[in-house]
Amino acid sequence: MRQVVHKVFKRGRLYSTVGAVAGVTVFGSSLGYIIGGRSDWTTGLDLSMGAGAASFGIANMIQFNRRHERELIAALERGEPLPESMAYWVALLGKRSKNKS
């Protein structure tokens, strides 16, 4: 179980970082168009989507940080059950691993 939890956190950190960087890039690009005076309604849409992606990525970076991983593994070693929020990700990862074999 420890290895599966580690894999969930590792992938969570990777994908949330990618999402946050992509969101910040789109947000910053939109701001550049607005400041340069070359914006229309699609720039506002890009701005809001970039902000949403960045905030979602940052929230997941917090959820999947190394401190939370260490705390969860320590709790599992003490015999505590897997939290529901993490059980979903572990089950999802387990299905993906079975499909690959």
> Can you give the pTM of this predicted structure?
0.78
pLDDT bracket for residue 101 (50, 70, 90): very low
What was the pLDDT predicted at 88? 85
Is 76 buried (19+), middle (13-18) or exposed (0-12) by CB count in 10 A? middle
What was the pLDDT predicted at 95? 64
User: Cβ–Cβ contacts within 10 Å for residue 34, how many?
Assistant: 14
Query: For 74-84, what is each residue's pLDDT tens digit?
Result: 999 999 998 88
Q: Which residue has the higher pLDDT, 96 or 3?
A: 3
How many residues in the chain? 101
